[in-house]
Amino acid sequence: MRGRRPAALSLPGLVVLALAAPTPAFAFDIPSGDPSAPASPAPVAPVAPSTVAASPAAAAPTTVAVRLRPGARGRLVRDLQRELRRRGYRGVRVDGAYGRATKAAVRSLQRRFKYRVTGIADPRFLRRMGLQATVTAAAPTPTPATLASPTGARYLQTFPVVGSYTYSNDYGAPRHQGRHEGNDIIAKEGTPVVAVAGGTITRMTRVEKGLGGIYIWLQDGRGNEYYYAHLSMISPGLRDGSRVVVGQVIGAVGQTGDARGTVDHLHFEIRPAGGGTTNPYTDLRAVDPKAR
């Protein structure tokens, strides 16, 4: 929702162990430490976009083991909370937030099951509870048509969200912290988010921080930056300095940061040459496969 660069505020998240990930697909991931922001690149003027000559190879399906811990949020936490209440833990609220009551109930059941008492709902515990213990997803296979930058797209080579979504030209709309510096793309939590250009992840956080929550900064080869905010997760294996290709799944839509309590969405910004923001809407429309 908001476009300011995040301030420091850390919350633990939802941990996932990658079981087989040749090319990461969307899935909950392991929080990392605070990223360090690199120096801004020298300004580079945008150039006319060109068609990508070849499509990246299709990504193999990725299976990840779900590991819920304090600070985790979302559907899987709600499912756990419902099952805990069904088993008599009436003090647990079904709010999708893994807090103290949920942790205490998990610890109690771990003692009953004679498991190691950690307060973390790992795959073994979830299976014992009859709940989903793994997530399987496949990264979309970009095609030449998807990766081509049509007339009117100065920066983007593909749309940042894959699946069902809506958006509007809300750049510059009033927000309580100032004017909106991007476009909000409304999509269900967990909807895959992809790299709009080939380049480098310059900074990111798997732990909620400030307005952006879980976020990614991607820089293309011309120095342009793309900001993805309010994510629910970042794909396994990615870190500061990781190289990504156009269409690669890098995370998933959520409502972290100051988007808590609002609708699930991706806040997306374009910053030419790493400077101030520009309205993404024209580029989004140009690469939106549903608009063509």
Q: Strand, helix or coil at 206?
A: strand
State the angle between helix axes of 75-86 and 100-113 in degrees (0 to 180), rounded to the nearest 10. 60
Residue 175 lies in a domain: yes
Average of per-residue pLDDT across 47-53: 39
Residue 129 lies in a domain: yes
Residues with Cβ within 8 Å of 212's Cβ and at least 6 positions away in sequence, in order, are: 2, 4, 5, 6, 227, 229, 230, 256, 257, 258, 267
CATH number, residue 50:
2.70.70.10
Give, in degrees to the nearest 5, the angle at Cα 268 between 266 and 271. Answer: 165
Residue 181 lies in a domain: yes
Residue 222 lies in a domain: yes
The amino acid occupying position 26 is F
Q: Tens digit of pLDDT for each residue in 152-182? A: 789 999 999 999 999 988 898 887 667 888 9
Give the neighbor-by-neighbor strand order of the sheet with 15-20: 15-20, 62-67, 134-137
Residues 116 and 158 in one domain: no
Q: Strand, helix or coil at 217?
A: strand
| Strands (E) located in 112-165 | 134-137
Residue 10 lies in a domain: no
Q: Tens digit of pLDDT for each residue in 72-82? A: 777 888 899 99
Domain end marker among 86, 117, 135 = 135
**H or E stretch at 75:** helix 75-86
Whole-prediction pTM: 0.54
| Rounded Cα gap, residues 80 and 102, in angstroms | 9
Query: Which residue in this structure is represented by tokens 């994510």?
Result: 231
Phi and psi at residue 81, to the nearest 5°: -65, -40
Domain end marker among 135, 153, 184 = 135
Domain end marker among 105, 135, 165 = 135
Residue 155 lies in a domain: yes
Residue 258 lies in a domain: yes
Residues 92 and 131 in one domain: yes
CB-CB neighbours of 26 under 10 Å: 29
What is the domain extent for residue 179? Answer: 15-61+138-287
Phi and psi at residue 50, to the nearest 5°: -130, 165
Q: Between residues 57 and 169, which one has the greater pLDDT?
A: 169
Residues 25 and 147 in one domain: yes
Domain count of the fold of the chain? 2
Q: Tens digit of pLDDT for each residue in 228-284? A: 999 999 999 999 999 999 999 999 999 998 888 788 999 999 999 989 999 999 999
Residues 30 and 108 in one domain: no
- Please report the pLDDT score of residue 69 as a whole number: 82
- Please report the pLDDT score of residue 87 as a whole number: 92
What percent of the chain shows pLDDT beyond 70? 71
